[in-house]
């Protein structure tokens, strides 16, 4: 695997990104914005699924926030992949990064499964199923956010 990560780091566009002050800053800033969209959409949606704001129809809030969170996830995956590629061999062995990736994967898979089972607005979910989805979402996305911040402070 180290050979693949070294190859990735050595690609000319990745080298250009790694050593470009403004290019790297732009991708990094876009990644932060993407995380803000993802977490900013996911947390209030999870809180609504958990039972907060019961007078607000679940479908109405889910329709808006699921799109916000989904757009954030796609953008975070794209920009995160570019950032990863600049130091792939270092990040691949970092326990905080590995935990972050596990949480992102679990969060994305659980979201896809919940949407396939209950619909994007989660109207087909019982209160118990909605609460389970909310807990998983909160743990995964907030955990991924915290783990991502810890990457800089944990050595592989």
Q: What is the pLDDT along the chain (156 residues), one digit of tens a residue?
A: 678 999 999 999 999 999 999 999 999 999 999 999 999 999 999 999 988 999 999 888 998 999 999 999 999 999 999 999 999 999 999 999 999 999 999 999 999 999 999 988 888 889 899 999 999 999 999 999 999 999 999 986
Please state, in angstroms and rounded to a whole number, the distance separating the CA atoms of residues 99 and 26.
25
- Name the pTM for this structure: 0.90
What is the rounded distance in angstroms from the CA atom of residue 103 to the CA atom of residue 50? 20
- How many whole angstroms from its chain centre is CA 73? 5
75 touches 34 (CB < 8 A): yes
Query: How far is it, in rounded angstroms, from Cα 12 to Cα 21?
Result: 16
Number of Cβ within a 10 Å radius of residue 116: 9
């Amino acid at each position: 695997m180290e050979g693949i990560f070294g190859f990735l780091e050595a690609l000319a566009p990745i080298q250009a990104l790694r050593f470009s002050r403004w290019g790297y800053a732009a991708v990094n800033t876009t990644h932060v914005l993407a995380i803000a969209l993802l977490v900013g959409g996911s947390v209030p949606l999870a809180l609504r699924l958990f039972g907060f704001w019961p007078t607000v129809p679940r479908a109405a809030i889910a329709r808006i926030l699921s799109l916000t969170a989904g757009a954030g996830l796609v953008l975070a995956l794209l920009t995160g992949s570019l950032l990863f590629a600049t130091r792939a061999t270092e990040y691949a062995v970092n326990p905080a990064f590995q935990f972050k990736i596990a949480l992102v994967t679990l969060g994305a898979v659980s979201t896809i499964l919940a949407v396939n089972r209950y619909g994007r607005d989660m109207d087909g979910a019982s209160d118990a199923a909605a609460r389970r989805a909310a807990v998983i979402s909160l743990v995964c996305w907030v955990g991924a956010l915290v783990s991502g911040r810890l990457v800089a402070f944990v050595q592989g």
